[in-house]
Structure 1
Amino acid sequence: MQDAALRLETLLEQLLGAPLPVRLRAWDGSEAGPPGAPTLVVRNRRALRRLLWKPGELGLARAWVAGDLTVDGDLYAVLELISGLVWERGEDARGLGETLRDPEARAAVRGLVRMAWPPLPPAPPREEVRRRSHLHTKRTDRRAISHHYDVGNDFYEIVLGPSMVYSCAYWPTPDATLEDAQRDKLELIARKLDLKPGGRLLDVGCGWGSMAIHAAREHGVSVVGVTLSHEQAAYARKRVADEGLTDRVEIRVQDYRDVADGPYDAISSVGMAEHVGSERYLEYARTLFALLKPGGRLLNHQIGRRPRRDESAYEVDEFIDAYVFPDGELAPIGSTVTQLESAGFEVRDVESIREHYALTLRHWVANLEAGWPLAVRLTSPGRARVWRLYMAASALAFEHNGISVNQVLAVKTPGSGASGMPLRARTWG
């Protein structure tokens, strides 16, 4: 009788119609696959049941988060090798229904069911959230933000390091420190917004207060930072007090739609607009436009995806939606620019810095791996595995141009047409 790994390899290759690019280690200790290749470890039969009941990304994610599936070796290498089978098959790839019209594929599924016996669907890991309606009401947005950001400030300190900035850094060189690159990103935003002493800045989605503190300390502005996370707000207020900036920085637990004390000279929105939702995006842009004084600037720093053939069809990344950013949505940069201009903004500069995000994520993964025992104690083994997979897969997505991140500088240009921008604007770096 064949051992489990060899039997599993044979059935998966029969089902997929392609050789497995990784080595397999099964629950009985047996191994099969290309010698020297990175190893995917199937720790129990429950992993197969998860994959059979939810073929594709979500089944793999559930098996990973539950600890039923793991990697021996370089996680990036395994993700690179299996991406073509899971994430990059494209719109022209055969769907499961078409695949199972093949008699050999049906036989492979029957064989996998026998290996996975008993064929009962395991409960999803407790870290999974129930799919919502993507209405992006104030209540659902608060709940989604809490799921992602109220994991614990101590956990985020491990991942993000001393800068406590949870967005793409701006790297002068690949071997710079994460802290230096994050400081350079904050300064880049401040220069693009042309912050000056005595001005007012609204920081939408202020996180742990890093942008607000930098703007007040280095550029002399008064800052209002808003977040929906109570844990972030408490942490940010303590940092502001420790810096002696309570007279210039106010941190609020407040929805951006409820800010009513404009006008502001500038608005920074860094890593927040991904939570807004496509149906609410024009409302978001109009709200920020109304909060700016004439000539005021908006810096919108946002992850974007590649355009689809059919933009009318709603699609969601099942793993991200279930475990990382509930109700999050990515849009192509063209859609973002169009919505900002529809709200009245004049878009003056668009800069893609996707390679910078890949570097940032690799540093966050390294931080998490270095602090793994403490990260697990602070959250849960499943939550730590979610973050490791999400950040490593995202790093590869940025490196391969699957997603990007863009800084859009927009101006509330007054009726006179005087934008206040210099003739040669790109003096910020």
Structure 2
Amino acid sequence: MRNRNILALTLAAAATLAAVPAALPAVAATPANSRAHSAHCPQLSKKLTWHGDNRARLQRMIDERGRCSNPRLGHDHKRPVAAFDWDNTVAKNDVTDATIAWSLRHDKILRPKSWKSTSKWMTDAADRALTEACGTEVPVGKPLPTSKNTACADEIFEIREDGKTMSGAAAFAGEWDHRHTVPQYAWVPQLFAGHTVPELESYAAKARKEALAAPIGATQTVGTHELPGYVRYYNQQRDLIRTLKKAGFDVYIVSAGSEPVAEVWSRSVGIDRAHTIAIRSVLDRRGRITTWNQGCGDVPVNKGEAIPYIDGKRCFINQEIFKVKGKSAWQKQDWDHRIALGSGDADTDVTFVGDATGAHLVLNRNKSEFMCRAYDNADSRWVVNPMFIEPMPRKSGTYPCSTAAYNEHDGRKGPVLRDDGSVVPDQRDSVY
């Protein structure tokens, strides 16, 4: 287990650098290799269905950046890096929700001394709602009976899901950078304060077993909330990760979930702890999770101000993979210090996927900022695919790229801009 302590965590990551630049975009033909040579390069399975020519485009990128064109990768050549979001990118549905749901149904949330202490942004209204619903009879640090107390389970899940109480009051208030964090995401590992990492991993493993066994389309009920009851690994993404690794890429998961949960799931696609980046909780002297988490760039250990979320994913990639320190970790790096392939499904992923120099793989979930970038396709390297299981229907109308798709730092919505400052025009949904 990664060494963790009360003030800081040992941030485990391979000391890797970005891909060797390619002179041509990912959609270009591979000039350096004959067809005979290409046939011996690690190949994506042709038995798995991709949209349009996406498989061929990804294969060309793998051939150009991997061992097929650079046989000495890992020796005197730096290995290219690929980074994937997890929820709804590598697996269908949200494994954090699955873990929380399992924990609520099995009485695994411990009563905090005060709910207000669990998040620096929690409102008085949310504190009152949680206190009234969950009661004060259970001693501090003991499990809440959420399997039977529907009201308590409802308040916890509603705040996690929508940042509101069951009555509709805002659960979080104050100031935060909306491209660095979102309080209800940061609240998830804080909910598990008092548990050890092995305990949380065991809950995630049990939730995983249950979710994988449930049929596609199954639902479950938590309190009065109905949510997906199943999770599936996407075979296409598993195959892509396998092929990338065979071709010499360093492959990482970068998730806005709790790291112990992400690690339980990522190992089944061949990605170890050192290559799994998520919210890393600080532990107390007894090895128990606290409400503090590891920082990034110029943000030290904190209460949720910096997590792998939108620009925060770039920061953690720059810091953990490319060893960029301080404030610079929040900035877009030069070609040699950027990932070759990035893959995601939501606005949470738009910055790090956009940083990729070889291919930006997008699973369409109708998220405005992300799809504006994808359909604008400014560098001809954006690869858009419907979700592989239960894809979203076509979005009606257009994405409001020119007016209200960009997530501003202060929480407002604005126009999506290209690197040259020009405005991305509104886009129609075409891959669904």
Report the structure, 1 or 2, having the larger helix content. 1
* Same fold by TM-score greater than 0.5: no
TM-score, normalised on structure 2?
Answer: 0.20
Which has more radius of gyration?
1
TM-score, normalised on structure 1?
Answer: 0.20
Instruction: Report 1 or 2 for greater relative contact order, CA contacts < 8 Å, sequence distance ≥ 6.
Output: 2
